[in-house]
Amino acid sequence: MNVVVVGSGIAGLTAALHAHDRGHAVTIVTKGALGGGCTPLAQGGVAGCYGPGDSPAQHAADTLAAGAGLADPEAVAVLTADASARILDLVARGVRFDRAADGGLQRGREAAHAFARVVHAGGDATGAEISRALVQEVRRAGIAVVEDALLQEIDVRRGVCAGIVALVGGRPREIPADAVVLATGGAGAVYARTTNPAGSTGDGIAAALRAGAAVADLEFVQFHPTVLDAPGTAFLVSEAVRGDGAVLMDADGRRFLAESHPDAELAPRDVVARAIVRQAAAQGSPVRLDATALGAELLARRFPTIDRVTRARGFDWSREPIPVTPAAHYLMGGVTTDLDGRTSIPGLLAVGEVARTGIHGANRLASNSLLEGAVFGARAAAALDVPAPAMPTVPPGPAASEAGTEAGAADHRSAPAFTRAALQELMWRHAGLLRTREGLAVAERTLRAWSRGAPDPGTVREHEDANLLLVALAMVTAARSRPDSVGAHHLEPEPALIGV
Protein backbone atom coordinates (compact mmCIF):
# COMPACT_ATOMS: atom_id res chain seq x y z
CA MET A 1 0.00 0.00 0.00
CA ASN A 2 1.22 3.51 -0.85
CA VAL A 3 0.88 5.67 2.26
CA VAL A 4 1.41 9.42 2.46
CA VAL A 5 2.05 10.84 5.93
CA VAL A 6 1.60 14.63 6.08
CA GLY A 7 3.69 16.06 8.90
CA SER A 8 6.88 15.06 10.68
CA GLY A 9 6.36 15.57 14.40
CA ILE A 10 6.16 12.63 16.78
CA ALA A 11 2.76 11.53 15.46
CA GLY A 12 3.76 11.58 11.79
CA LEU A 13 7.20 10.06 12.30
CA THR A 14 5.75 7.29 14.48
CA ALA A 15 3.04 6.51 11.93
CA ALA A 16 5.58 6.50 9.10
CA LEU A 17 8.04 4.22 10.89
CA HIS A 18 5.37 1.73 11.99
CA ALA A 19 3.80 1.71 8.51
CA HIS A 20 7.24 1.12 6.97
CA ASP A 21 7.89 -1.71 9.43
CA ARG A 22 4.63 -3.30 8.23
CA GLY A 23 5.82 -3.28 4.64
CA HIS A 24 4.00 -0.24 3.27
CA ALA A 25 5.61 2.18 0.81
CA VAL A 26 5.67 5.41 2.80
CA THR A 27 6.23 9.01 1.76
CA ILE A 28 6.48 11.75 4.37
CA VAL A 29 5.33 15.17 3.17
CA THR A 30 6.36 17.93 5.56
CA LYS A 31 5.85 21.66 5.54
CA GLY A 32 9.39 22.61 6.47
CA ALA A 33 12.40 20.45 7.13
CA LEU A 34 11.98 16.87 8.33
CA GLY A 35 11.38 16.83 12.07
CA GLY A 36 10.10 20.39 12.30
CA GLY A 37 6.90 21.69 13.86
CA CYS A 38 5.98 21.66 17.53
CA THR A 39 7.58 18.40 18.66
CA PRO A 40 11.16 19.74 18.90
CA LEU A 41 9.88 22.56 21.11
CA ALA A 42 8.23 20.26 23.66
CA GLN A 43 9.90 20.54 27.04
CA GLY A 44 8.04 18.56 29.70
CA GLY A 45 8.04 14.95 28.58
CA VAL A 46 5.93 11.86 27.90
CA ALA A 47 3.44 10.68 30.50
CA GLY A 48 3.02 6.98 31.15
CA CYS A 49 6.03 5.67 33.08
CA TYR A 50 4.35 4.18 36.12
CA GLY A 51 6.12 3.81 39.45
CA PRO A 52 5.07 2.36 42.82
CA GLY A 53 1.40 2.99 43.56
CA ASP A 54 0.74 4.33 40.08
CA SER A 55 -1.05 2.59 37.20
CA PRO A 56 -2.65 3.15 33.79
CA ALA A 57 -5.99 3.31 35.60
CA GLN A 58 -4.78 6.18 37.80
CA HIS A 59 -3.34 7.97 34.76
CA ALA A 60 -6.72 7.53 33.06
CA ALA A 61 -8.50 8.94 36.09
CA ASP A 62 -6.23 12.01 36.07
CA THR A 63 -6.80 12.48 32.33
CA LEU A 64 -10.57 12.26 32.72
CA ALA A 65 -10.54 14.70 35.63
CA ALA A 66 -8.49 17.25 33.67
CA GLY A 67 -10.85 16.86 30.70
CA ALA A 68 -13.70 18.42 32.72
CA GLY A 69 -16.10 15.56 32.08
CA LEU A 70 -15.87 15.62 28.29
CA ALA A 71 -13.02 13.17 27.63
CA ASP A 72 -13.97 9.81 26.12
CA PRO A 73 -13.26 7.07 28.72
CA GLU A 74 -12.65 4.42 26.06
CA ALA A 75 -10.13 6.58 24.21
CA VAL A 76 -8.41 7.52 27.47
CA ALA A 77 -8.18 3.85 28.45
CA VAL A 78 -6.50 3.08 25.13
CA LEU A 79 -4.04 5.93 25.59
CA THR A 80 -2.96 4.92 29.07
CA ALA A 81 -2.95 1.16 28.40
CA ASP A 82 -0.55 1.66 25.47
CA ALA A 83 1.63 4.27 27.19
CA SER A 84 4.38 2.08 28.64
CA ALA A 85 4.82 0.11 25.42
CA ARG A 86 5.14 3.28 23.37
CA ILE A 87 7.72 4.74 25.75
CA LEU A 88 9.74 1.52 25.45
CA ASP A 89 9.36 1.74 21.67
CA LEU A 90 10.85 5.24 21.74
CA VAL A 91 13.76 3.94 23.81
CA ALA A 92 14.26 1.13 21.29
CA ARG A 93 14.33 3.68 18.48
CA GLY A 94 17.15 5.56 20.14
CA VAL A 95 15.50 8.20 22.33
CA ARG A 96 17.84 8.93 25.24
CA PHE A 97 15.52 9.65 28.14
CA ASP A 98 17.08 10.87 31.37
CA ARG A 99 18.00 8.10 33.81
CA ALA A 100 17.72 7.88 37.58
CA ALA A 101 20.58 6.80 39.83
CA ASP A 102 19.42 3.15 39.64
CA GLY A 103 19.54 3.22 35.83
CA GLY A 104 15.79 3.32 35.36
CA LEU A 105 13.91 6.08 33.59
CA GLN A 106 13.71 9.26 35.61
CA ARG A 107 10.13 10.37 36.26
CA GLY A 108 8.88 13.91 36.84
CA ARG A 109 5.51 15.22 38.02
CA GLU A 110 3.39 17.84 36.33
CA ALA A 111 0.15 19.60 37.13
CA ALA A 112 -2.99 17.48 37.67
CA HIS A 113 -0.97 14.23 37.77
CA ALA A 114 -1.38 12.26 41.00
CA PHE A 115 2.09 10.71 40.60
CA ALA A 116 5.45 11.41 39.01
CA ARG A 117 5.06 9.53 35.71
CA VAL A 118 6.53 11.87 33.08
CA VAL A 119 9.78 10.79 31.41
CA HIS A 120 11.98 13.51 29.98
CA ALA A 121 15.20 13.91 28.01
CA GLY A 122 17.97 16.46 28.27
CA GLY A 123 16.17 17.87 31.29
CA ASP A 124 13.73 20.05 29.36
CA ALA A 125 14.62 19.08 25.78
CA THR A 126 12.38 16.02 25.45
CA GLY A 127 10.78 16.91 22.14
CA ALA A 128 14.09 17.78 20.51
CA GLU A 129 15.56 14.43 21.56
CA ILE A 130 12.54 12.47 20.34
CA SER A 131 12.63 14.31 17.03
CA ARG A 132 16.37 13.66 16.63
CA ALA A 133 16.00 9.94 17.22
CA LEU A 134 12.94 9.42 15.03
CA VAL A 135 14.33 11.49 12.15
CA GLN A 136 17.48 9.40 12.31
CA GLU A 137 15.36 6.23 12.15
CA VAL A 138 13.41 7.56 9.15
CA ARG A 139 16.61 8.35 7.28
CA ARG A 140 18.11 4.99 8.20
CA ALA A 141 15.00 3.23 6.91
CA GLY A 142 15.20 5.10 3.60
CA ILE A 143 11.64 6.43 3.81
CA ALA A 144 10.89 8.94 1.05
CA VAL A 145 10.57 12.53 2.22
CA VAL A 146 9.19 15.62 0.47
CA GLU A 147 10.22 18.74 2.38
CA ASP A 148 9.04 22.36 2.15
CA ALA A 149 5.63 21.19 0.99
CA LEU A 150 2.41 22.87 2.09
CA LEU A 151 -0.71 20.69 2.14
CA GLN A 152 -3.16 22.36 -0.25
CA GLU A 153 -5.98 19.87 -0.67
CA ILE A 154 -7.00 16.33 0.19
CA ASP A 155 -7.87 14.51 -3.05
CA VAL A 156 -11.23 12.81 -2.53
CA ARG A 157 -12.63 10.77 -5.41
CA ARG A 158 -16.00 9.02 -5.21
CA GLY A 159 -15.98 9.61 -1.48
CA VAL A 160 -12.59 8.00 -0.89
CA CYS A 161 -9.26 9.68 -0.18
CA ALA A 162 -6.94 9.18 -3.15
CA GLY A 163 -3.97 11.32 -2.12
CA ILE A 164 -3.15 14.98 -1.63
CA VAL A 165 -2.20 18.09 -3.53
CA ALA A 166 0.75 19.97 -2.05
CA LEU A 167 2.50 23.21 -2.92
CA VAL A 168 6.11 22.22 -3.50
CA GLY A 169 8.39 25.02 -4.58
CA GLY A 170 5.30 27.18 -4.96
CA ARG A 171 3.74 24.82 -7.52
CA PRO A 172 0.85 22.38 -7.00
CA ARG A 173 1.94 18.75 -7.03
CA GLU A 174 -0.41 15.77 -6.93
CA ILE A 175 0.78 12.95 -4.66
CA PRO A 176 -1.46 9.89 -5.06
CA ALA A 177 -1.88 7.42 -2.21
CA ASP A 178 -3.91 4.45 -1.08
CA ALA A 179 -4.09 6.05 2.36
CA VAL A 180 -3.23 9.47 3.78
CA VAL A 181 -2.30 10.07 7.41
CA LEU A 182 -2.72 13.68 8.53
CA ALA A 183 -0.20 14.64 11.23
CA THR A 184 -0.05 18.37 10.57
CA GLY A 185 -0.42 19.63 14.14
CA GLY A 186 -2.64 22.42 15.38
CA ALA A 187 -3.43 26.03 14.65
CA GLY A 188 -1.64 28.12 17.26
CA ALA A 189 -0.84 30.82 14.68
CA VAL A 190 -4.50 31.82 14.75
CA TYR A 191 -3.65 33.72 17.96
CA ALA A 192 -1.46 36.75 18.56
CA ARG A 193 0.36 35.01 21.41
CA THR A 194 1.30 31.36 20.99
CA THR A 195 4.01 28.91 21.90
CA ASN A 196 3.64 27.30 18.48
CA PRO A 197 5.94 28.03 15.54
CA ALA A 198 4.72 30.41 12.85
CA GLY A 199 3.94 27.48 10.55
CA SER A 200 1.15 26.17 12.81
CA THR A 201 -1.53 27.56 10.52
CA GLY A 202 -4.12 24.79 10.74
CA ASP A 203 -3.35 23.42 7.29
CA GLY A 204 -4.55 19.86 7.99
CA ILE A 205 -7.79 20.91 9.67
CA ALA A 206 -8.53 23.40 6.89
CA ALA A 207 -7.91 20.81 4.18
CA ALA A 208 -10.09 18.31 6.04
CA LEU A 209 -12.91 20.88 6.33
CA ARG A 210 -12.72 21.60 2.61
CA ALA A 211 -12.82 17.85 1.90
CA GLY A 212 -15.94 17.43 4.04
CA ALA A 213 -14.40 15.53 6.96
CA ALA A 214 -16.09 15.66 10.35
CA VAL A 215 -14.47 17.86 13.00
CA ALA A 216 -15.26 18.33 16.68
CA ASP A 217 -14.26 20.26 19.81
CA LEU A 218 -12.57 23.13 17.96
CA GLU A 219 -13.75 25.50 20.69
CA PHE A 220 -11.32 23.91 23.16
CA VAL A 221 -7.96 25.66 22.93
CA GLN A 222 -5.44 25.20 25.71
CA PHE A 223 -3.46 28.21 26.84
CA HIS A 224 -0.21 27.33 28.57
CA PRO A 225 -0.11 29.28 31.84
CA THR A 226 3.59 30.13 31.97
CA VAL A 227 5.22 31.76 28.98
CA LEU A 228 8.04 34.20 29.64
CA ASP A 229 6.55 37.70 29.57
CA ALA A 230 9.42 39.46 27.81
CA PRO A 231 10.19 40.84 24.35
CA GLY A 232 10.98 38.33 21.64
CA THR A 233 9.47 35.07 20.44
CA ALA A 234 7.12 33.46 22.96
CA PHE A 235 9.11 31.09 25.13
CA LEU A 236 7.40 28.45 27.22
CA VAL A 237 8.51 27.78 30.80
CA SER A 238 7.67 24.12 31.35
CA GLU A 239 4.99 23.02 33.76
CA ALA A 240 7.60 20.65 35.13
CA VAL A 241 9.19 23.66 36.83
CA ARG A 242 6.07 23.99 38.96
CA GLY A 243 6.02 20.23 39.35
CA ASP A 244 9.47 20.49 40.92
CA GLY A 245 8.34 23.16 43.38
CA ALA A 246 8.25 26.60 41.72
CA VAL A 247 5.32 28.81 42.74
CA LEU A 248 3.36 31.70 41.24
CA MET A 249 3.44 35.05 43.04
CA ASP A 250 1.47 38.27 42.82
CA ALA A 251 3.00 41.76 42.89
CA ASP A 252 3.30 41.59 46.69
CA GLY A 253 5.16 38.28 46.61
CA ARG A 254 2.11 36.32 47.75
CA ARG A 255 0.97 32.97 46.33
CA PHE A 256 -2.54 33.33 44.92
CA LEU A 257 -3.42 30.05 43.14
CA ALA A 258 -4.87 28.36 46.23
CA GLU A 259 -7.76 30.81 46.03
CA SER A 260 -8.75 29.28 42.68
CA HIS A 261 -8.05 25.56 43.25
CA PRO A 262 -6.94 23.33 46.15
CA ASP A 263 -4.03 22.04 44.03
CA ALA A 264 -2.74 25.60 43.59
CA GLU A 265 0.14 25.65 41.06
CA LEU A 266 -0.56 22.03 40.14
CA ALA A 267 -4.20 22.64 39.19
CA PRO A 268 -5.35 21.92 35.60
CA ARG A 269 -3.91 24.29 33.03
CA ASP A 270 -7.14 26.12 32.26
CA VAL A 271 -7.60 26.98 35.94
CA VAL A 272 -4.03 28.21 36.36
CA ALA A 273 -4.06 30.24 33.14
CA ARG A 274 -7.30 32.05 34.01
CA ALA A 275 -6.08 32.79 37.53
CA ILE A 276 -2.88 34.31 36.13
CA VAL A 277 -4.79 36.53 33.70
CA ARG A 278 -7.16 37.74 36.39
CA GLN A 279 -4.38 38.46 38.86
CA ALA A 280 -2.30 40.30 36.26
CA ALA A 281 -5.33 42.43 35.33
CA ALA A 282 -6.09 43.20 38.97
CA GLN A 283 -2.58 44.34 39.80
CA GLY A 284 -1.71 45.93 36.46
CA SER A 285 1.51 43.98 36.03
CA PRO A 286 2.62 40.42 35.21
CA VAL A 287 2.53 37.68 37.81
CA ARG A 288 5.86 36.01 38.53
CA LEU A 289 7.09 32.45 38.69
CA ASP A 290 9.39 31.95 41.64
CA ALA A 291 11.83 29.06 41.18
CA THR A 292 14.57 30.49 43.40
CA ALA A 293 14.08 27.83 46.09
CA LEU A 294 15.20 25.16 43.62
CA GLY A 295 18.70 26.65 43.47
CA ALA A 296 20.99 27.53 40.57
CA GLU A 297 22.57 24.08 40.25
CA LEU A 298 19.29 22.18 40.01
CA LEU A 299 17.74 24.70 37.61
CA ALA A 300 20.73 24.54 35.27
CA ARG A 301 20.84 20.73 35.37
CA ARG A 302 17.13 19.92 35.25
CA PHE A 303 16.05 22.76 32.94
CA PRO A 304 19.09 23.69 30.83
CA THR A 305 17.10 25.11 27.92
CA ILE A 306 14.96 27.35 30.11
CA ASP A 307 18.00 28.36 32.13
CA ARG A 308 19.89 29.39 29.00
CA VAL A 309 17.02 31.29 27.38
CA THR A 310 15.90 33.16 30.49
CA ARG A 311 19.47 34.27 31.16
CA ALA A 312 19.89 35.32 27.53
CA ARG A 313 16.80 37.52 27.95
CA GLY A 314 18.18 39.20 31.03
CA PHE A 315 16.77 37.13 33.92
CA ASP A 316 18.63 35.15 36.56
CA TRP A 317 15.77 32.92 37.63
CA SER A 318 17.88 31.32 40.34
CA ARG A 319 17.90 34.70 42.14
CA GLU A 320 14.69 36.44 41.07
CA PRO A 321 11.14 35.44 40.08
CA ILE A 322 10.46 35.78 36.35
CA PRO A 323 7.37 37.38 34.72
CA VAL A 324 5.02 34.92 33.02
CA THR A 325 1.79 35.10 31.05
CA PRO A 326 -0.44 32.57 29.24
CA ALA A 327 -0.25 31.92 25.48
CA ALA A 328 -2.14 29.67 23.06
CA HIS A 329 -0.54 26.25 23.20
CA TYR A 330 -2.65 23.29 22.07
CA LEU A 331 -5.88 22.56 20.20
CA MET A 332 -7.86 19.80 21.91
CA GLY A 333 -10.27 19.38 19.02
CA GLY A 334 -9.65 18.62 15.38
CA VAL A 335 -10.55 16.08 12.72
CA THR A 336 -12.83 13.48 14.28
CA THR A 337 -11.31 9.99 14.41
CA ASP A 338 -12.00 6.59 15.86
CA LEU A 339 -9.53 4.85 18.16
CA ASP A 340 -7.34 3.89 15.20
CA GLY A 341 -7.09 7.28 13.56
CA ARG A 342 -9.74 6.71 10.89
CA THR A 343 -11.74 9.78 9.90
CA SER A 344 -15.17 10.09 8.28
CA ILE A 345 -13.51 9.90 4.84
CA PRO A 346 -12.36 6.37 3.92
CA GLY A 347 -8.63 6.25 3.32
CA LEU A 348 -7.96 9.39 5.38
CA LEU A 349 -6.53 9.05 8.89
CA ALA A 350 -5.47 11.70 11.39
CA VAL A 351 -3.11 11.51 14.36
CA GLY A 352 -1.64 13.90 16.91
CA GLU A 353 -2.86 17.42 17.49
CA VAL A 354 -4.73 17.63 14.19
CA ALA A 355 -7.01 14.80 15.38
CA ARG A 356 -9.90 14.75 17.80
CA THR A 357 -9.69 11.31 19.42
CA GLY A 358 -11.63 12.27 22.54
CA ILE A 359 -8.75 11.80 24.97
CA HIS A 360 -8.44 15.46 25.98
CA GLY A 361 -12.05 16.48 26.47
CA ALA A 362 -12.22 20.15 27.38
CA ASN A 363 -8.68 20.41 28.77
CA ARG A 364 -5.53 18.39 28.02
CA LEU A 365 -3.55 16.82 30.84
CA ALA A 366 0.11 17.87 30.71
CA SER A 367 2.49 15.56 28.78
CA ASN A 368 -0.32 13.60 27.16
CA SER A 369 0.37 15.27 23.81
CA LEU A 370 3.66 13.54 22.96
CA LEU A 371 2.11 10.35 24.31
CA GLU A 372 -0.91 10.81 22.04
CA GLY A 373 1.34 11.13 18.99
CA ALA A 374 3.24 7.96 19.88
CA VAL A 375 0.17 5.89 20.76
CA PHE A 376 -2.14 6.87 17.94
CA GLY A 377 0.63 7.11 15.34
CA ALA A 378 1.32 3.42 15.97
CA ARG A 379 -2.37 2.51 16.03
CA ALA A 380 -3.05 4.30 12.74
CA ALA A 381 -0.21 2.38 11.07
CA ALA A 382 -1.68 -0.90 12.33
CA ALA A 383 -5.12 0.13 11.07
CA LEU A 384 -3.78 0.31 7.51
CA ASP A 385 -3.76 -3.50 7.47
CA VAL A 386 -7.40 -3.82 8.57
CA PRO A 387 -10.48 -3.19 6.41
CA ALA A 388 -12.12 0.04 7.52
CA PRO A 389 -15.16 -0.45 9.80
CA ALA A 390 -18.17 1.84 9.93
CA MET A 391 -17.52 5.55 10.15
CA PRO A 392 -16.75 7.07 13.57
CA THR A 393 -19.85 7.52 15.72
CA VAL A 394 -18.57 10.65 17.48
CA PRO A 395 -20.80 13.51 16.32
CA PRO A 396 -18.97 16.12 14.26
CA GLY A 397 -18.47 19.60 15.60
CA PRO A 398 -20.45 22.48 14.14
CA ALA A 399 -19.47 23.29 10.59
CA ALA A 400 -18.22 26.74 9.76
CA SER A 401 -21.61 27.53 8.21
CA GLU A 402 -23.85 26.52 11.13
CA ALA A 403 -23.71 29.37 13.63
CA GLY A 404 -26.04 32.34 14.02
CA THR A 405 -27.73 34.19 11.23
CA GLU A 406 -26.84 37.48 12.92
CA ALA A 407 -23.12 36.83 12.37
CA GLY A 408 -23.74 35.45 8.91
CA ALA A 409 -25.25 38.71 7.73
CA ALA A 410 -22.01 40.69 7.89
CA ASP A 411 -20.99 42.82 4.96
CA HIS A 412 -17.29 42.55 4.10
CA ARG A 413 -17.25 46.18 2.98
CA SER A 414 -17.84 47.36 6.57
CA ALA A 415 -15.23 45.08 8.18
CA PRO A 416 -11.70 46.24 9.00
CA ALA A 417 -9.04 45.30 6.45
CA PHE A 418 -7.87 41.70 6.66
CA THR A 419 -4.30 40.99 7.63
CA ARG A 420 -2.90 37.98 9.44
CA ALA A 421 -2.04 40.21 12.39
CA ALA A 422 -5.59 41.56 12.49
CA LEU A 423 -7.02 38.04 12.54
CA GLN A 424 -4.65 37.02 15.33
CA GLU A 425 -5.56 40.02 17.46
CA LEU A 426 -9.27 39.45 16.82
CA MET A 427 -9.02 35.83 17.95
CA TRP A 428 -6.88 36.69 20.97
CA ARG A 429 -9.32 39.35 22.13
CA HIS A 430 -12.61 37.60 21.45
CA ALA A 431 -11.96 33.83 21.20
CA GLY A 432 -9.03 33.39 23.53
CA LEU A 433 -8.58 32.44 27.15
CA LEU A 434 -11.54 34.54 28.37
CA ARG A 435 -14.56 34.89 26.10
CA THR A 436 -17.94 36.60 26.07
CA ARG A 437 -20.97 35.82 23.95
CA GLU A 438 -20.85 39.35 22.55
CA GLY A 439 -17.17 39.07 21.72
CA LEU A 440 -17.64 35.75 19.94
CA ALA A 441 -20.42 37.28 17.86
CA VAL A 442 -18.14 40.18 16.88
CA ALA A 443 -15.42 37.72 15.93
CA GLU A 444 -17.75 35.66 13.78
CA ARG A 445 -19.17 38.67 11.95
CA THR A 446 -15.67 39.90 11.16
CA LEU A 447 -14.38 36.49 10.09
CA ARG A 448 -17.35 35.93 7.80
CA ALA A 449 -16.88 39.35 6.25
CA TRP A 450 -13.20 38.62 5.64
CA SER A 451 -14.11 35.26 4.13
CA ARG A 452 -16.52 36.86 1.66
CA GLY A 453 -13.92 39.38 0.56
CA ALA A 454 -10.95 36.98 0.38
CA PRO A 455 -9.29 36.50 -3.01
CA ASP A 456 -8.22 33.08 -4.23
CA PRO A 457 -4.86 32.23 -2.65
CA GLY A 458 -1.75 31.91 -4.78
CA THR A 459 1.40 32.08 -2.69
CA VAL A 460 2.22 29.84 0.27
CA ARG A 461 1.49 32.68 2.69
CA GLU A 462 -1.86 33.37 1.03
CA HIS A 463 -2.77 29.69 1.38
CA GLU A 464 -1.77 29.84 5.04
CA ASP A 465 -3.92 32.93 5.54
CA ALA A 466 -6.88 31.17 3.93
CA ASN A 467 -6.36 28.20 6.23
CA LEU A 468 -6.16 30.41 9.31
CA LEU A 469 -9.33 32.20 8.30
CA LEU A 470 -11.25 28.95 7.72
CA VAL A 471 -10.07 27.34 10.97
CA ALA A 472 -10.66 30.51 12.99
CA LEU A 473 -14.22 30.69 11.72
CA ALA A 474 -14.80 27.02 12.57
CA MET A 475 -13.38 27.59 16.06
CA VAL A 476 -15.57 30.62 16.71
CA THR A 477 -18.77 29.01 15.44
CA ALA A 478 -18.03 25.98 17.61
CA ALA A 479 -17.52 28.26 20.61
CA ARG A 480 -20.78 30.10 19.92
CA SER A 481 -22.64 26.79 19.75
CA ARG A 482 -21.52 25.85 23.30
CA PRO A 483 -23.54 28.08 25.64
CA ASP A 484 -21.92 27.10 28.94
CA SER A 485 -18.36 27.33 30.26
CA VAL A 486 -16.45 24.06 30.50
CA GLY A 487 -12.72 23.48 30.69
CA ALA A 488 -10.79 25.68 28.29
CA HIS A 489 -14.01 27.20 26.87
CA HIS A 490 -14.73 29.90 29.42
CA LEU A 491 -17.43 32.52 29.00
CA GLU A 492 -16.46 35.54 31.11
CA PRO A 493 -19.20 37.84 32.44
CA GLU A 494 -16.75 40.76 32.69
CA PRO A 495 -15.76 41.93 29.20
CA ALA A 496 -13.25 44.34 30.70
CA LEU A 497 -10.88 41.43 31.28
CA ILE A 498 -10.89 40.33 27.66
CA GLY A 499 -7.72 41.15 25.79
CA VAL A 500 -5.47 41.56 28.84
Q: Which residues are the active-site residues? A: 269
CB 95 within 8 A of CB 394: no
d(CA 38, CA 433): 21
CB 132 within 8 A of CB 385: no
Bridge partners, residue 180, by sequence: 4, 348
> In one letter, which amino acid is 88?
L
- Sign of the CA dihedral with 236 first, then 238, 241, and 246 last: positive
User: 226: closest CA among 236, 211, 214, 216?
Assistant: 236
Angle at which helix 437-453 crosses helix 460-481, to 10 degrees, equals: 150
CB 27 within 8 A of CB 34: no
User: 217: closest CA among 394, 465, 380?
Assistant: 394
CB 331 within 8 A of CB 221: yes
CA 89 to chain centre: 22
d(CA 403, CA 213): 18
The arrangement of strands across the sheet holding 179-182 comes to 144-146, 25-29, 2-6, 179-182, 348-350
- Sign of the CA dihedral with 228 first, then 226, 47, and 381 last: negative
Bridge partners, residue 165, by sequence: 153, 174
Show Cβ contacts of residue 124 under 8 Å, excluding neighbours closer than 6 positions: 43, 44, 238, 240, 302, 303, 304, 305, 306
Residue 64, CA distances (Å) to 67, 113, 138, 336 in order: 5, 11, 34, 19
DSSP letters spanning 336-368? E--TTSB-SSTTEEE-GGGEE-SSSTTSPPTT-
